[in-house]
């Protein structure tokens, strides 16, 4: 039977408020525990928070009595695997049997801050499983030395650790890593997707566990589902697009580095990637018979319990005004975004059109206007006048190197064919002095 937990999103809420909501979730019946996001900055600037998850979990263990863990921490960029093992062993010793360590390959929005090269997903996956090997060896309490392809550990022994090693769960969304997770980890974390994909991932996870001689029936599988809960469908869609626009982007987001970039993508996009809302929650989508934990992430600033309408998980402040997800202009009246094809305001230019505009402007600025080109050509071509002088005031005969007079039609083929600009006729100009007739002859 599936259990429902609560996803504590550090990107959205102040840690003090989030502690109160986690305690309220436990009272409301979220028995699967808590997933704590581990971010150094939010997905978008509108989310507005990004507290240190490891400090928060120390207080969470005291405030609640359920299991909790990271979802997820990336070893190898901001933290060496030895540092993660040290922090996890400390929480495991403080709260025996309650803490689990969730690891993942990481996103550039969190890991690029320390500089260095950001590798491809294959390299990051290799780093992840090498780090799991180091962490599991440190949990044994022995002196560990390691020199591998990606990490080096000179010599370390963890002195403060729990009696039972902290279980390691791995977040994955691909079949290859799901199989390796079953072999080298103790549990699996993934996000909501189609039932067929979830079944394939869990099947590969079970195959990997059997290859390592483990029973997959006793290994946890955690699924994170994003839920926008509101009184009306329009309010739920608006809250999802405002608070969690990255959930509606149907493409990989591991290489995006700044919250401002996510916000710009959200303005150019539409809520196509969001699941279709329904009037009744019913049976949780993806809650199969072998699914032990379903962690619910509330997208609204005033999250409401899905099990009891009387249980509030929110602060007293009201939600932000409704605005267009494309142009951020405040809207009035109900808007059905599923049936709306175009934004009521002019849509922001796409990156491709901006690039084309910039390129055309740059090419246009590299050459002078036609009027300037014509003036430059006329300056370079000496024009013969009736007096035999060019426009520079020199005689054309003297400038001719051959010594013979220059024929009249020598430069006729180089003269500008541009017609002179005609001025618009204006009012007749009058002399300011009073007109007097000339004096008569004596």
- What is the C-alpha separation between 8 and 6, in angstroms, rounded? 6
Roughly how many angstroms between the first and final C-alpha of the chain, as a whole number? 132
Task: List for the chain the helix, strand, coil content (%; round to 5).
Answer: 35, 15, 55
Q: Is-contact 21 64, C-beta < 8 A?
A: no
Q: Is-contact 284 225, C-beta < 8 A?
A: yes
Q: What is the DSSP letter of 188?
A: E
39 is catalytic: yes
- What is the C-alpha separation between 25 and 65, in angstroms, rounded? 11
Catalytic residue among 38, 39, 130, 297: 39
107 is catalytic: yes
Q: Give me the residues paired with residue 304 across strands.
A: 312
For 191, phi then psi, to 5°, come to -105, 165
Torsion sign across C-alpha atoms 48, 51, 53, 56 = negative
The answer for residues whose C-beta is within 8 angstroms of residue 1's C-beta and 6 or more apart is none
CA 374 to the chain's CA centroid: 50
Catalytic residue among 107, 111, 130, 243: 107
The CB-side HSE value for 86 (13 A sphere, CA atoms) comes to 8
Q: Annotated catalytic sites, by residue?
A: 39, 107
């Amino acid at each position: 039977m599936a259990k429902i937990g609560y996803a504590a999103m550090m990107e959205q809420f102040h840690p003090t408020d989030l502690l109160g909501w986690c305690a309220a979730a436990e009272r409301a019946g979220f028995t699967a525990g808590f997933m704590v996001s581990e971010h150094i900055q939010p997905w978008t600037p509108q989310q507005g928070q990004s507290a240190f998850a490891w400090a928060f979990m120390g207080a969470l263990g005291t405030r609640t009595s359920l299991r909790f863990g990271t979802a997820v921490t990336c070893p190898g960029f901001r933290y060496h695997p030895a540092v993660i093992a040290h922090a996890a062993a400390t929480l495991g010793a403080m709260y025996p049997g309650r803490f689990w360590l969730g690891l993942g390959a990481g996103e550039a929005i969190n890991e690029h801050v320390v500089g260095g090269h950001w590798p491809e997903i294959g390299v990051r996956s290799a780093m992840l499983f090498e780090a799991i090997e180091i962490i599991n060896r440190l949990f044994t309490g022995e002196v560990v030395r390691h020199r591998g392809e990606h990490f080096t550990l000179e010599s370390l022994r963890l002195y403060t650790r729990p009696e039972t090693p902290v279980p390691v769960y791995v977040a994955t969304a691909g079949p290859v890593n799901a199989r390796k997770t079953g072999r080298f980890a103790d549990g699996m974390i993934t996000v909501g997707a189609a039932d067929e994909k979830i079944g394939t991932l869990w099947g590969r996870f079970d195959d990997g566990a059997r290859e390592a001689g483990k029973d997959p029936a006793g290994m946890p599988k955690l699924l994170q589902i994003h839920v926008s809960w509101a009184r009306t469908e329009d309010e739920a869609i608006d809250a999802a697009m405002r608070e969690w626009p990255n959930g509606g982007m149907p493409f990989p987001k591991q290489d995006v580095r700044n919250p401002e970039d996510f916000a710009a993508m959200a303005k150019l996009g539409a809520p196509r990637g969001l699941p279709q809302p329904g009037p009744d929650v019913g049976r949780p989508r993806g809650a199969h018979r072998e699914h032990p934990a379903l962690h619910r992430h509330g997208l609204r600033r005033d999250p409401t319990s899905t099990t009891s309408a009387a249980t509030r998980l929110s602060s007293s402040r009201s939600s932000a005004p409704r605005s267009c997800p494309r142009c951020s202009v405040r809207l009035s009246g109900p808007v059905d975004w599923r049936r709306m094809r175009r934004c009521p305001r002019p849509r922001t230019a796409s990156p491709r059109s901006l690039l084309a505009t910039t390129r055309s402007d740059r090419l246009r600025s590299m050459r002078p206007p036609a009027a300037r080109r014509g003036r430059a050509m006329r300056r370079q071509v000496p024009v013969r006048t009736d007096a035999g002088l060019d426009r520079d005031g020199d005689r054309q005969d003297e400038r001719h190197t051959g010594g013979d007079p220059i024929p009249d039609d020598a430069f006729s083929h180089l003269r500008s064919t541009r017609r002179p600009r005609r001025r618009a006729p204006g009012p007749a100009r009058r002399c300011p002095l009073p007109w007097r007739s000339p004096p008569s002859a004596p």
